Structure 1
Amino acid sequence: MSKPKIIGLTGGIGSGKSTVASFFKAVDIPVYIADDEAKALMNRSKIIKRKLISFLGHSAYKDGVIDRAYIAKRVFADKALLEKINAIVHPKVASHFKRWVSKQDSPYIIKEAAIIFENNLEAQYDKIITVVSPMEKRIKRVMKRDGTKREKVLSIINNQLSDDEKIDRSDFVIYNNDLKSLEAQVKEIHKQLLTKP
């Protein structure tokens, strides 16, 4: 069994990465959602739990489950704290991902990760797909999905690289304007990934 190509799937908040990921799943491509795995590990790993509580306090967990709202509030005001959390969680996610890839029997896999470029992680991928969507649609999508205020969504968007910068550094770009064209774009990229070395 040869090692599958690792394809990064990225895009700003609310761009529609999860929808794109579901279209790749529909054509039988394994998908790894890094953010979901990070959440699961924060709840499952005793080591991560112990470390997070040591510098965030017991409020970091509510009934044994990570309190993401509390952590988001803390890291928003303190970038160094975010770096500390990432230093604990990211290596664990990376080793979990490595094990997961070794079990996949597919010509390529998709790893969905929001901040590939922000963290300069391009070298970890064979190709990178960026999803872009009109700003207003993104804001509305996130407000509806997370129940957050417009200002909060804008501040997150402003903390991420612009779409133009991401497009410049990507191998493929998916324009998320409507579901039909979204699915067609995924199928076209799928075809190219299967045929090109």
Structure 2
Amino acid sequence: MVIVGITGGIGSGKTTIAKYMSTFGIPLYIADEEAKALMNRSKVIKRKLIQLFGEEAYKNEELNRPYLAKKIFTDKSLLSQMNAIVHPKVASHFKRWLKKQNAPYVLKEAAIIFENNLQDNYDYIITVIADEELRRKRIMSRDNTNKEKIDAIIKNQWVDAKKIQLSDFVITNNDLEKAKEEAIKIHKQLLKITSK
């Protein structure tokens, strides 16, 4: 099974593009959504996160996301430790999911493929890019957050130029209709590649 990673900085619109590509009948795995679900579902993850962050990590049996966000925002080592707990579980969940798929290729949407040096887990990588100011506007309207938090997240991610060098395909998403046209072209190329 050919695994195509789709990545991009926060606010680039990678999830929008990934969901659009899934309308072509391509199975889509959104790593961030699965991670959130596993953090609520998995007893092992729950126990480890409570050990790491304290009882406040969960509120009414649900992950206390604002509390965790505040903690990891000020402490990079906590973020690394949390990722070390969650990422391996997401990876094994993805492997199980992959076995059930039957398509020319699958899409796995993940924000920090390159930052975590995971590019070798993919056959091809699509990077979605957009102007930084536009990305900020999108995040502010979507997440109701402030510029300081957005800049901190952007600073933790690689710059687009660095990602582009390691990517097989790039979609510029300053205009959604044009980005969708690029996505169709890439889908057709991937179908050609996978039918050989």
The question of a shared fold, defined as TM-score above 0.5 by the shorter chain, is answered with: yes
Which residue, 40, 44, 50 being the options, matches 1:43?
40
Matched, 1:169 2:166: yes
Mapped pair 1:66 → 2:63:
yes
Aligned pairs for 1:102-113 (under 5 A) are 102-113=99-110
In the alignment, structure 1 residue 144 sits paired with structure 2 residue 157: no
**Alignment partner for residue 124 of structure 2, among 124, 127, 149?**
127
Quote the Cα distance in structure 1 between the aligned partners of 2:2 and 2:31: 17
The separation in 1 between residues aligned to 2:156 and 2:44, in whole angstroms, is 29
1:9 aligned residue (6, 10, 14): 6
- List runs of 5+ in structure 2 lacking aligned partners: none
| Selected match of 1:97 from 94, 97, 122 | 94
> How far has the Cα of 1:152 moved from its partner?
1.3
Gaps of 5+ in 1: none
CA distance in 2, matches of 1:8, 1:17: 10
- CA offset at residue 77 of structure 1? 1.6
Q: Aligned equivalents of 2:120 and 2:84: distance in 1?
A: 19
Deviation, structure 1 residue 141: 0.4
| Coordinate RMSD, CA, aligned | 0.9
Aligned length: 194
Q: How does 1:147-158 map to 2 (within 5 A)?
A: 147-158=144-155
State TM-score, norm by structure 2.
0.97
Identity %: 59
Which stretch has the larger CA shift, 178-187 or 159-168? 178-187
The code of the aligned residue for 2:132 comes to M
CA distance in 2, matches of 1:14, 1:67: 23
Structure 2 residue 52 is matched with structure 1 residue 55:
yes
When normalised by structure 1's length, the TM-score is: 0.96
What CA deviation, in whole Å up to 9, does each residue of 1:72-95 have, x standing for no partner? Answer: 111122211111111111111011
Q: Does 1:29 align with 2:26?
A: yes
Runs of 4+ off more than 4 Å: none
1:86 maps to a residue whose letter is N
Q: Find out whether 1:185 has 2:182 as its counterpart.
A: yes
What is aligned with 1:85?
82
Question: 2:24 and 2:183 mapped to 1: Cα distance?
Answer: 9
